[in-house]
Structure 1
Amino acid sequence: MVTQFVLRKQKQNKAGECPVQMVVYFDGARLACSTGEKCKPADWNEDRQQFRRSYPLAEEANDLLKLMAGNVLKWWRGVRAAGEVPTVAGLKAALRPAAVEQPAPELLVVEELRRFREVMRGRGLMWNTLRHYLVTSNWLRDFEAWAGRQLTVSGYDLATHDALLAYLRTERELSPNSLYTVGKDLRRLFGYLRDERGQRLQVEPRRLRVAYEETDKVFLSAQELERLRVAVLPTTLAPVRDVFLFCCYTGLRYSDVLQLHGGNVEALPDGSGRVLRLTQTKTRTKVSVYLTAAAAALLERYAGPERAGAGARLLPVYQNQVMNRYLKRIALLAGLERAVEQVDVMGGQVRKRAAALRELVTMHTARHTFATQSLLRGMPVEVLQRIMGHANIKTTLVYAKIMEDFQHQTMRRIWDGQGATSDNAGALDSQICAVEPAAA
């Protein structure tokens, strides 16, 4: 086979350019077709059958001619091996081979979860919710390293999902509610990929559900709260105790008491007291909380000139980890030794142990304490729901750990004519929200 490139000068166009033609000789047969390239006669070297240096991008153009010659040679070898007859159509196809359609790259679940998180950030999801996606991503990467394979969107089916859950439950010994978080995040991701990105899935997103298990809420009784209030503490711990008590009296989360400022406090029009009006950090729900005498006294304790401005923080709140660490020491000094059963599910096994209350107290214990003590005092659940900022009353009813006591109390009040606080584990109103806290 012999290949030549010829400039067809007789086909010159108005711009003075002539087409470059390829001529191929096959064992006595001759085929010719256009290369699609053009140039002026002055830019073509007939002896070397290539473009001169005067031609714009001559080096690239000559490389293209070499590539065409190589493609034709491969084509000819294939035709000869198959015993076929070379044709002009085959020659043209060899000169301009059709682009091989590359398969779409596999979408990786971890990478799509990262992109989904950024989309949700743009749609206004809060930091705490976005943080869950990071945790789930880390668990998925751990599974990939353990299984020796990557999770792909197109390959994620129920068998893969079961293998993931089995790994997280047995190898990582995650709690049922941690598994619930993984299922929830994956359900949202795959629903988004199917409904908003048009991806074809092997699994129905709603089938990636993992059951949620309610955990017991740790809270303080009235007597325990009083012992905490009057405990003699070092000066370094007293502010932490005061912030904790304030949350017990108002039901605020740590994230809300951390950012509490003067603009959140308003006096009632009738002069009967003050209220906190704020937007909750976690849910962005607006709530209004009446400041009882005990809560107001704690604010007054820290109402110095440095906190007089509208934007100044009202209470000395440390980082959450520091607060929780100090609270363990405070609870120890207050003698909160009541045994509390802790039930965990690890590796598919239920584990029970008794722990001292002082080991379990955290800043969120204050919110649980407010909810349970409010119910024990007869506060309607609907009112508590508004104060806590729960969108669904079922969330408020999670605090039904004390509802058995509440039911007994209600029956005594209705059937035996006893007062709501006559026999309630010491839950007297004067012990909680109507007493002036002693100086620390």
Structure 2
Amino acid sequence: MFLEYIYGMANAKFILKEPKSKEETLIYMLFRYQYKRFKYSTGEKILPKFWNEDKQRVKETKQFPQHPEFNTRLAKFDTAINSAFRRLLNDGIQPNNKLLKEVFEAELSGNILQPRKITFLDFVEKYIEESKLHKKEGTVKVYKTTQKYLKSYSEKLKKDLDFDSINLEFYNQYIAYLSVENNLSANTVGKHIKTIKSFLNEATDRGHNTNLDFKKRKFKTIREESDSIYLSVDELKKFEKLNLSASPRLEKVRDLFLVGCFTGLRFSDFIQIKPENIITDKNMIQIRTQKTGERVSIPLHKTVRNILSKYDNKLPKAYSNQVMNRYLKEVASLSGLKEKVETTITRAGKMEKETNSKFDLVSTHTARRSFATNLYLADVPTISIMKITGHKSERSFLQYIRVTQEQNADKLLNHPFFN
């Protein structure tokens, strides 16, 4: 299906260099494929008066008796370029003008090239094109960002990245390239490694890759604990009590944020809640999440019920995530979140410390993290919370929530074991 889609986008046509010339002029072949254009001089020349623009061939006229042989040569060009394009796709290679010219000229001369082994970057480009047809826009964006850094690294080395070169030596050098030369944080570097491993798993499944170094223990996804904050139930009450009637934009942002805080939904999901998602007789929200496609059922907290009632079950249209985050900081400041919070981040192997007011650290994702943490501290069973947040393992869930050592100890004090 995918190849049929790609083939359907490819076509060749022949045009004159100077269609109004009184003298012989060159014939060019234009081949359009995947939103690209390949232009090639056929070397053939013709008087424009003998050219049939509609058929893109020489007119069949006695005034130009060579027309059968001439048109046969053009047909060979047409056949060769289409064969070259299909050969690249069938070999799992993403076509570009350089490769297309190489294979096309070999086809034209009758010297069929041996199938060219697909490189790692060739596969990544092909895989991203495929992913555009069936994966979420956000996922494709992540893939393209990783591809950008891989390409720049390849250009720096002045050589292609093939599958055999993706080993532990590559891993160590590439991490240094991302963290030192590009000043990316440890967690961002880790996300790139995770994406590269996804590419390699897919290539291995398809038979393009036999090098399994990426599965070794040392070829690991880097991750450091995030300093993301959460808002306690008391802090959320302060948000709710704010009188923001004088600022409709802040009031709307505050209300949407609170819906996220008491449903645990991602920003992309809580802004999509519609009347049909509200099951009134069961007092819950049922919605299919954008990221995972799973259907979740969430009890309606009284705060959410009040907000839905305020808007007649039709939540206001949200601003973009970026704008929401900017306005949220204003709301958080007005609610009194002025305490200083120290955050750390690792760049180029060095830990950097920074002190910010808590309101500066609030974002739309704080809502989801607050939901999970507050429910955990309220002794809601972990498995029940994970059913809503979508965490697959308790380990990943416990890394996600924000519980201090003191809070954990307080929680344990009420456990029968300590009484």
Q: Which amino acid aligns with 2:378?
A: R
1:413 & 1:59 partners in 2: Cα distance?
91
Q: State the alpha-carbon separation in 2 of the partners of residues 58 and 267 from structure 1.
A: 78
Q: Please state how far the C-alpha of 1:403 moved relative to its aligned partner.
A: 6.1
Partners of 1:108 and 1:151 within 8 A in 2: yes
TM-score norm. by structure 2 comes to 0.67
Which residue does the alignment assign to 2:327?
326
Who is 1:43 aligned against? none
Work out the number of aligned pairs and report it: 316
Q: Which protein, 1 or 2, shows the higher relative CO under an 8 Å CA cutoff with sep ≥ 6? A: 1
Determine the structure 2 residue equivalent to 1:71.
Answer: none
Q: In structure 1, what is the Cα distance between the partners aligned to 2:284 and 2:158?
A: 57
Unaligned runs of 5+ in 2: 1-63, 73-108
CA contact (8 A) 2:412 2:418 kept: no
Moved more, 336-345 or 313-322: 313-322
Determine if the alignment matches structure 1 residue 286 to structure 2 residue 295: yes
The change in CA–CA distance for 1:58 and 1:137 in structure 2 (over 3 A counts) is closer
Q: Could you report, residue by residue, the CA deviation over 1:125-170 in whole angstroms, capped at 9, with x for unpaired residues?
A: 4333232111101111222343344423454443333322211110
**Residues in 1 aligned to 2:257 and 2:277: alpha-carbon distance in whole angstroms:** 18
Report the CA distance shift for 1:102/1:314 in structure 2 as closer, same or farther (over 3 A). same
Q: Identify if the C-alpha distance between structure 1 residues 279 and 105 changes in structure 2 by more than 3 Å, giving closer, same or farther.
A: same
Distance between the aligned counterparts of 2:193 and 2:114, measured in 1?
30
Counterpart position of 1:353? 354
Distance 2:320 2:154 in 1: 34
Q: Distance in 2 between matches of 1:100 and 1:121?
A: 35
Question: Does residue 218 of structure 1 match 2:250?
Answer: no
Structure 2 partner of 1:186: 196
Determine whether 1:116 maps to 2:127: yes
Counterparts of 2:333 and 2:294 in 1: how far apart (Å)? 35
Is this contact kept in 1: 2:369–2:401, CA < 8 A? Answer: no
Determine the C-alpha separation between the residues in 1 that align with 2:71 and 2:319.
Answer: 67
Q: Secondary structure at the match of 1:250?
A: coil
Give secondary structure in 2 for the equivalent of 1:352: strand
Secondary structure at the aligned position of 1:276 is classed as: strand
Mapped to 2, the partners of 1:296 and 1:227 lie a distance apart of 18
Task: Find out whether 1:242 has 2:255 as its counterpart.
Answer: yes
Task: Determine if the alignment matches structure 1 residue 228 to structure 2 residue 230.
Answer: no
Of residues 398, 412, 415, the one that matches 1:410 is 412
Q: Do 1:169 and 1:179's aligned partners in 2 also have CA atoms closer than 8 Å? A: yes
1:296 offset after TM fit, Å?
A: 0.1
Choose which of 132, 135, 139 in structure 1 pairs with 2:145: 135
State the alpha-carbon separation in 1 of the partners of residues 418 and 195 from structure 2: 51
> Cα offset for 1:251?
1.3
Offset of 1:119 from its aligned partner?
3.5
Structure 1 unaligned regions, length at least 5 = 1-52, 62-97, 308-312, 418-440
When residues 296 and 100 of structure 1 are mapped into structure 2, their CA distance, relative to the original with a 3 A threshold, is: same
Equivalent residue in structure 2 for 1:165, among 168, 175, 178: 175
What SS does structure 2 have at the residue aligned with 1:216?
coil
CA distance in 2, matches of 1:249, 1:212: 28
Residues 187, 224 of structure 2: 8 Å contact kept: yes
In structure 2, do the counterparts of structure 1 residues 102 and 227 end up closer, same or farther at CA, with 3 Å as the change threshold? Answer: same
Matched, 1:204 2:219: no
Contact residue 107 and residue 154 of structure 1 kept, 8 A: no
Residues 264 and 54 of structure 1: is their aligned pair in 2 closer, same or farther, counting only changes over 3 Å? closer
Deviation of 1:58 after TM superposition, in Å, equals 6.3
| SS in structure 2 at match of 1:164 | helix
Partner of 2:227: helix, strand, or coil? coil
| C-alpha separation in 1, matches of 2:340 and 2:328 | 17
> Which region of structure 1 is more displaced relative to structure 2, 222-231 or 127-136?
222-231
Residue 265 of structure 1: how far off its partner (Å): 0.4
Q: Evaluate the alpha carbon distance shift between residue 371 and residue 55 of structure 1 in structure 2; reply closer, same or farther with a 3 A threshold.
A: closer
